């Protein structure tokens, strides 16, 4: 159950990051609500997950999901670079996060 909370926390971090991008383009109530709401929910889920998942593992997985998710969202929706080096780096983060899950 705690791993599901941690994955959900990472997904909500992606929502918060989308909110940051939207606020940068158009600072309005809706975009600020996406930003603040995404991060508040993300932090609350992370706190719950860390009740049983070790700190280093939980934090690394949470930031890994957020970083990979933000990069993919940026490439798909905001026309950011899709270079092979960037994609390879994203795969490296995924392998590292999976490795942490396997050893914890």
Distances, alpha carbon 16 to alpha carbons 12, 92, 96, 104, in Å: 6, 23, 23, 27
**pTM summary value:** 0.90
Taking only the tens place, the pLDDT of each residue in 21-40 is 999 999 999 999 999 999 99
In the block, tokens 């991060």 appear at 39
Does residue 100 surpass a pLDDT of 90?
A: no
pLDDT tens across 35-90, in order? Answer: 999 999 999 999 999 999 999 899 999 999 999 999 999 999 999 999 999 999 99
> For position 1, what pLDDT does the model report?
86
Is pLDDT at 104 greater than 80 in this prediction? no
- Per-domain residue ranges of the chain: 2-103
Q: CA-CA distance, 37 to 24, in Å (whole number)?
A: 16
């Amino acid at each position: 159950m705690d791993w599901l909370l941690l994955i959900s926390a990472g997904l909500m971090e992606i929502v918060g990051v989308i909110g940051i991008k939207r606020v940068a383009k158009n600072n309005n109530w809706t975009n600020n609500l996406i930003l603040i709401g995404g991060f508040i929910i993300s932090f609350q889920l992370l706190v719950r997950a860390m009740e049983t998942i070790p700190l280093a593992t939980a934090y690394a997985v949470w930031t890994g999901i957020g970083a990979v998710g933000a990069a993919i969202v940026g490439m798909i929706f905001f026309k950011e670079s899709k270079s092979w080096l960037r994609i390879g780096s994203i795969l490296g983060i995924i392998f590292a996060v999976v490795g942490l899950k396997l050893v914890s």
